[in-house]
Amino acid sequence: MSFNSFGHLFRVTTWGESHGPALGATVDGCPPGVPLTPEDIQVWLDRRKPGQSKYTTQRREADEVEILSGVFEGETTGTPIQLMIRNTDQRSKDYSEIAEKFRPGHADITYWQKYGIRDYRGGGRSSARETAARVAAGGVARAALAQLAPGMSITGYMVQMGDHHIDRARFDWDQIDQNPFWVPDAQAAEDWATYLDGLRKSGESVGAAIEMTVRGAPAGLGAPIYAKLDTDLAAAMMSINAVKGTEIGDGMAAAALTGSANADEITMGPDGPVYSSNHAGGILGGISTGQDIVVRFAVKPTSSILTPRATITKSGEETTIVTKGRHDPCVGIRAVPVGEAMAACVMLDHVLLHRGQIGQNRGRIG
């Protein structure tokens, strides 16, 4: 309902700017009794942390999470969990050159127009640093899901960088953690390294597409109208900085399908319905089918680049801009753990909502 909160029963409010003393997430509605330590959260933050490879910003943030409330003797209490991450590397001088100019393709200008505030040091709330708070909240969601839906796993990976796509025939879950791009295709990982090196050296940036698969989600999560599971997943992804599109299952490609091609045929397996395919991405009519849930989103390239671009200043004068700060040539890389975290929050929220309204699935098959 409010501007910086997300979720129905499991509700996350992120706060903080990239150049203030700290940022974090206020997490409300977590069930009590979930084992939770800072390390459980840190492991996910470390995946998003900048400066881990030459392909991400060289800003060095420890991104160390502190749990200020809501956990007692190693377990959640059911009350708000405050997660705080201190900002430790805020070299404001890097931004001095752009204090008066707007970066084309960046929120600088709209933010200024709306709020009349220009936190030129790092974009204020439009900084990608805000996503660290999401990853921390996602860590809480994962811990709770481990209790409430123990078979569920959420895995994100890149499927496209610029005009390079993965080869689905080479898809290998085990590769995802083996390369700096979270790409499930060893060959792509190699090719993309070369490609991105070139872009980085020329001060360019590039977009990306990230896919997430939720395995082991039970059938029945979601609702048919505005609390559709896919609506909430799409909103969660679209709320991430720089995301311009989001898809469930076949996504935009569904526009090209015929009805007979799109129909995921159903047979009866030992444990319930079995589907011949998954065009639906695991969601029909806003409600999960029990198949893998497949969500995809596209991230635009960073607007902070070395190529000079025409722009204007706050006083309305025309000029050009080159952004020299420490930026990611492909922000899509670090968007992978962010997308996973948002998916985790949505899945937990729907597990709780379903339990609240329905209790457990009411319609049996067979």
Count other Cβ atoms within 10 Å, centred on residue 365. Answer: 9
Per CB under 8 A, 168 contacts its own copies: no
Q: Which stretch binds its own copies (CB under 8 A): 41-49, 55-63, 91-99, 263-271?
A: 263-271
Total binding residues toward its own copies, as defined by CB under 8 A: 160
Q: Which of residues 127-166 bind its own copies (CB under 8 A)?
A: 130, 160-163
Nearest approach, Cβ of 116 to its own copies (angstroms)?
3
Q: Residue 154 or residue 352: which is nearer to its own copies going by CB?
A: 352
Contact (CB, 8 A) for 312 and 319: yes
Pairing of strands 81-86, 71-72: unpaired
Q: Residue 163 or residue 174: which is nearer to its own copies going by CB?
A: 163
Binding mask 19-58 for its own copies (x = CB under 8 A): -xxxxx-x-xx-xxx-------------------------
Q: Which stretch binds its own copies (CB under 8 A): 166-174, 180-188, 189-197, 203-211?
A: 203-211
d(CA 169, CA 276): 18
CA 167 to each of CA 156, 185, 215, 245: distance values in angstroms, whole numbers, following the listed order: 16, 7, 21, 21
Nearest approach, Cβ of 27 to its own copies (angstroms)?
9
Nearest approach, Cβ of 199 to its own copies (angstroms)?
7
d(CA 361, CA 366): 14
Nearest approach, Cβ of 210 to its own copies (angstroms)?
9
Q: Which of residues 286-345 bind its own copies (CB under 8 A)?
A: 286-289, 296, 298-305, 307, 309-312, 314-318, 332
Nearest approach, Cβ of 266 to its own copies (angstroms)?
5
Write the burial class of residue 364 (CB in 10 Å: 0-12 exposed, 13-18 middle, 19+ buried).
Answer: exposed
Write the burial class of residue 338 (CB in 10 Å: 0-12 exposed, 13-18 middle, 19+ buried).
Answer: buried
Q: Which of 40, 232, 292, 340 binds its own copies (CB under 8 A)?
A: 232
d(CA 183, CA 191): 11
Q: Residue 43 or residue 253: which is nearer to its own copies going by CB?
A: 253
Q: Residue 108 or residue 292: which is nearer to its own copies going by CB?
A: 108
Q: Residue 125 or residue 174: which is nearer to its own copies going by CB?
A: 125
Per CB under 8 A, 17 contacts its own copies: yes
Residues 6+ apart with CB under 8 A from 38: 64, 65, 66, 67
Q: Which of 154, 206, 212, 346 binds its own copies (CB under 8 A)?
A: 206
Place of tokens 């969660």: 236
Nearest approach, Cβ of 236 to its own copies (angstroms)?
8
Count other Cβ atoms within 10 Å, centred on residue 43. Answer: 11
Q: What is the DSSP string of 147-180?
A: HHSTT-EEEEEEEEETTEE--GGG--GGGGGGST
Q: Residue 154 or residue 351: which is nearer to its own copies going by CB?
A: 351
Nearest approach, Cβ of 44 to its own copies (angstroms)?
19
Count other Cβ atoms within 10 Å, centred on residue 142. Answer: 25
CA 221 to each of CA 154, 227, 360: distance values in angstroms, whole numbers, following the listed order: 15, 10, 10
Q: Residue 189 or residue 229: which is nearer to its own copies going by CB?
A: 229
Per CB under 8 A, 64 contacts its own copies: no
Binding mask 236-255 for its own copies (x = CB under 8 A): --xx-x--xxxxxxxxxxxx
Residues in the chain: 366
Nearest approach, Cβ of 287 to its own copies (angstroms)?
4
Q: Which of 184, 222, 337, 339 binds its own copies (CB under 8 A)?
A: 222
Half-sphere exposure of 86 (CA within 13 A, CB side): 6
Per CB under 8 A, 231 contacts its own copies: yes
Nearest approach, Cβ of 240 to its own copies (angstroms)?
9
Single out the residue of 126, 36, 125 nearest to residue 75, CA to CA. 36
Nearest approach, Cβ of 279 to its own copies (angstroms)?
7
